[in-house]
Structure 1
Amino acid sequence: MKFSVFTASTPEWTPAEAVRILAGQGWDGVEWRITDQEETDVPGFWAGNRATWPLTGLEDRLDELDRLTRESGLEYSGIGGYARCDDHDGVERMLAATARLGARQVRVTMPRTDSGEYRALFAAARRDLSWAASRAAEHGVKALVELHHETITPSASAAFRLLDGLDPEHVGVIHDLGNLVIEGREETLASLQLLGPYLAHVHVKNVAWVPGEPEQDGTVRWHHAWAPLTTGTGDVDDYFRALHAFGYDGWVTCEDFSTDVPVEERTRGNLDYLRAVAARTRTAAAA
């Protein structure tokens, strides 16, 4: 396995700082966040993120992005794109950029379930992904669908149904431990076996379910919150045991949105933890 960091989770760093620190800590790669975002005075994960490359004018900055990445010695685990599957112009640009960078694969986002009637959204997304697969083949790259809560593909079953019959050389799935805690979790090994050749990439973060204050009638409503890898609801060891049992040996991208410790301490500790988990679960799987 190789380990990388998605720069959505490192909002305080500039791209130059991100590659310097991550390479210095021993990460194998980086997954750049590329999207137009709201600018803010205080950097945040989703707005004012300094480690994000804007989609506007991206083509003019690809040489700079590639130079920073390659001079640091980091590889691309993929590209964290935000173009939705029905935005054909945006998807085409992201596929072309991925090919130019030699980054191999790029995320294409799915419609939210609250944006329309589910069956209609699903049917349209299937048509869009069929088109994206053909364009990805032209570019020699792969378009990725992430298992993500509140979208039409929160689970492996939903993603498999969406992609079934398309060429797994050019479309695939990002399996995501943390997102599945929120919505869509199925037994991990079974879900990996279901995806089969469509399993292309893995994201790791963690989430905890926490209770709210009791309401007047005693009702307690639970909500999810980002958590450190070591303390969230998702069982990281169990997750890696399933990955080893399936035979997955690709990229694992960490996107830790917890804020318990400063970002540099967080990324350093996460790499140590993930390597330790991968080693002990690999040994157990081989026993």
Structure 2
Amino acid sequence: MRFSVTTVSTPEWTPEEAAAAIAAQGWDGIEWRVTDQEPADEPGYWAGNRATWPLTGLEESVPEILRITNEAGLDFSAIGAYVQASDHDNIERLLAATAALGAGSVRIGVPHVPVADYRAVFAATRADLEWVVERAAVHGVKVLVELHHGTIISSASAAYRLVEGLDPERIGVIHDIGNQVIEGFEDIGTAFQILGEYLAHIHVKNAVWWPNGQQGPDAQVMWEHNWSTLRDGQIDIDWLFRALVSIGYDGWVALEDFTDLSTPRDERLLDSLQFLHGSYQRALMWAEWVAAEAAEADAVEEVQTEGPDVEA
């Protein structure tokens, strides 16, 4: 398993600063954010993010992206874009840039909800993805769609319906457990079974719900969600890694960190990396224990089946 950082998580840093810091900490890769964003007086995750490459004219940025990534000694875990599957011109731009970078895969967007007619939007998106997959094959890359709250594929079940029957070599699903704290949660092991060969990438973050102090009708408690550190969220990250190890997943796990803490960014990223390595190692030890228990049970069953070797 390999670990990377999405640069949506590093809004204060320039691309050079982000790549250098991520590499120095021992991360394996980087997932560059690509979008035309709004300007901002202060850097933020979604606007004014300094570690974001513009979508418009992306092809002109390819040499610089390659230089910065290679000089840092990092690999591409993916390209993190937001272009809707229906935007064919920009999808073509993304696919060509991903191929030129040798990045392997690129995330694209799907429609948000609510929509006037969910089934019609779902069907139209599926038709767009059929075209996208054809173009991805021409460019020799893979497109990724993400389990995300507020979209037409917040759950593994919905995502599987969207991609079922398409070439899994050219399209896959990003499982994001943090997003599913908010909407779309299904048992992690079950979700992986549902996605099957379409499970292509992992985003990891955590989140929490808490009473916001407001009251609804008849004194109903109102709740809000927010992002948290990996340690403090509602999802047991060890559970995620046990499920990944159990299916033999050996791909990328990319960190997304949207928390607003006073701790410096580099300290937060390093703590996350150490936590992820620890969780992965605990999952490997758990798998060894499970295998040993199964082997012992099989041995006992075999002895009991054969019975004692005693002559009548």
1:126-145 matches, within 5 Å, as 126-145=126-145
Cross-structure match for 1:161: 161
Q: Which amino acid aligns with 2:119?
A: R
Cross-structure match for 2:294: none
Cross-structure match for 2:302: none
What TM-score does the superposition give when structure 1 sets the normalisation length? 0.98
Cross-structure match for 1:276: 278
Cross-structure match for 1:93: 93
1: distance between equivalents of 2:226 and 2:15?
A: 27
2: distance between equivalents of 1:96 and 1:115?
A: 31
What TM-score does the superposition give when structure 2 sets the normalisation length? 0.90
Per the TM alignment, residue 259 of structure 1 is displaced from its structure 2 partner at its CA by 1.8
Residue by residue over 1:241-276, the C-alpha shift from the partner in whole angstroms, topping out at 9 and shown as x without a partner, is 111111111000000111222211111110011001
Cross-structure match for 2:102: 102
2: distance between equivalents of 1:282 and 1:155?
A: 27
Q: Which amino acid aligns with 1:266?
A: R
1:107-126 matches, within 5 Å, as 107-126=107-126
Is 1:23 the equivalent of 2:32? no
Cross-structure match for 2:255: 254
Cross-structure match for 1:12: 12
Structure 1 gaps of 5+ residues are: none
Cross-structure match for 2:43: 43
What RMSD, in angstroms, separates the aligned Cα atoms of the two structures?
0.9
SS in 1 for 2:109: coil
1: distance between equivalents of 2:92 and 2:103?
A: 15
Residue by residue over 1:209-253, the C-alpha shift from the partner in whole angstroms, topping out at 9 and shown as x without a partner, is 011114274221111101111001111011111111111110000
Cross-structure match for 2:72: 72
Cross-structure match for 1:202: 202
2: distance between equivalents of 1:114 and 1:193?
A: 28
Structure 1 residues 245 and 42, CA gap change in structure 2 (3 angstroms): same
Residue by residue over 1:136-164, the C-alpha shift from the partner in whole angstroms, topping out at 9 and shown as x without a partner, is 00000001010000100001000001111
2: distance between equivalents of 1:185 and 1:259?
A: 24
In the alignment of these two chains, the number of paired residues is 287
2: distance between equivalents of 1:43 and 1:153?
A: 29
1: distance between equivalents of 2:35 and 2:115?
A: 20
Q: Answer with 1 or 2: which has the greater Rg.
A: 2
Which stretch of the first structure deviates more once superposed, 71-80 or 205-214? 205-214
2:269 pairs with 260, 267, 270, which one?
A: 267
1: distance between equivalents of 2:127 and 2:208?
A: 35
2: distance between equivalents of 1:200 and 1:160?
A: 12
SS in 1 for 2:278: helix
Residue by residue over 1:165-205, the C-alpha shift from the partner in whole angstroms, topping out at 9 and shown as x without a partner, is 00000000000010011111111011101111100000000
Cross-structure match for 1:285: 287
Spell out structure 1 runs of 4+ moving beyond 6 A.
none
1: distance between equivalents of 2:13 and 2:161?
A: 38
Cross-structure match for 2:190: 190
1: distance between equivalents of 2:247 and 2:98?
A: 28
2: distance between equivalents of 1:70 and 1:32?
A: 13
Q: Which amino acid aligns with 1:60?
A: E
